[in-house]
Amino acid sequence: MPKSQFMESVRAALRTRQYSIRTEKCYLYWVRQFIRFNAMLHPENMNNEHVERFLTDLAVAKKVSPSTQNLALCAIVFMYRYVIGRELEGLNYGYTRTPKNLPAVLSPSEVKTIMEQLHGRAKLITALLYGSGLRIHEALRLRVKDINFYDRSVFVFRGKGRKDRYTLLPSGLVQGLMQQMEKVRESHNADLAEGFGATSVPASLKRKYQSALNDYAWQYLFPSDVRCQHPVDGYICRHHWHTSSYRRQLRAAVVKSNLPKRVTAHTFRHSFATRLLEQGTDIRTVQELLGHTDLKTTEIYTHVLGSRRAGVLSPVDGIINTKQQNS
What pLDDT band is residue 98 in, cutting at 50, 70 and 90? Answer: low
In the predicted structure, residue 132 carries a pLDDT above the cut 90? yes
Please tell me the least confidently modeled range out of 34-38, 96-100, 220-224, 231-235.
Answer: 96-100
Catalytic residue among 112, 160, 208, 248: 160
Q: What is the CATH number of domain 5-84?
A: 1.10.150.130
- Which of the following is catalytic: 27, 220, 246, 301? 301
* Domain boundaries, given as residue ranges, for the chain: 5-84, 109-327
318 vs 269 pLDDT, higher one: 269
| Residue 298 pLDDT | 83
CB 239 within 8 A of CB 22: no
| Least confident range of 160-164, 240-244, 311-315 | 311-315
Contacts of 244 (CB under 8 A, 6+ apart): none
Q: How confident is the model at residue 200 (pLDDT cuts 50, 70, 90)?
A: confident
Cα–Cα distance list, 175 to 144, 230, 254 (Å): 14, 32, 25
**What fold is seen in the domain 109-327?**
hpI Integrase; Chain A (1.10.443)
Question: Is 160 among the residues known to form the active site?
Answer: yes
pLDDT at 76 over 70: yes
Catalytic residue from among 188, 238, 269, 275? 269
42 is catalytic: no
Q: Which residue has the higher pLDDT, 38 or 161?
A: 38
Q: pLDDT tens for residues 270-317?
A: 999 999 998 889 999 999 999 998 888 888 888 777 644 555 656 776
What is the Cβ-side half-sphere exposure of residue 308, based on CA atoms within 13 angstroms?
6
> What is the rounded CA–CA span in Å between residue 109 and residue 278?
15
The pLDDT of residue 85 is above 90: yes
Active-site choice (135, 141, 143, 240): 135
Query: Does the pLDDT of residue 194 top 90, yes or no?
Result: yes
Please give the mean pLDDT across all residues of the chain: 88
Whether the Cβ atoms of residue 150 and residue 209 lie closer than 8 Å to each other: no
Across 226-253, average pLDDT: 92
Provide the pLDDT for residue 162: 78
Mean pLDDT of 211-237: 90
pLDDT score at 161: 75
**pLDDT at residue 213 above 60?**
yes
**Spatial distance between the Cα atoms of 275 and 131, rounded to a whole number of angstroms:** 10
Is 301 catalytic? The answer is: yes
User: Catalytic: 141?
Assistant: no
Question: What is the rounded average pLDDT of the residues 209-231?
Answer: 90
207 confidence band (pLDDT: 50, 70, 90): confident
- Give the model's pLDDT for residue 254: 95
Average pLDDT over residues 224-238: 89
> What pLDDT score was predicted for residue 149?
94
- Over 70: is that where the pLDDT of 212 sits? yes
Question: What is the predicted pLDDT for the residue at 1?
Answer: 44
- Extract long-range pairs of 10-19: CB within 8 Å, 24+ residues apart: 10/79, 10/83, 13/78, 13/82, 13/83, 14/78, 15/203, 15/232, 17/82, 18/202, 18/204
Residue of 11, 121, 275, 292 with catalytic role:
292
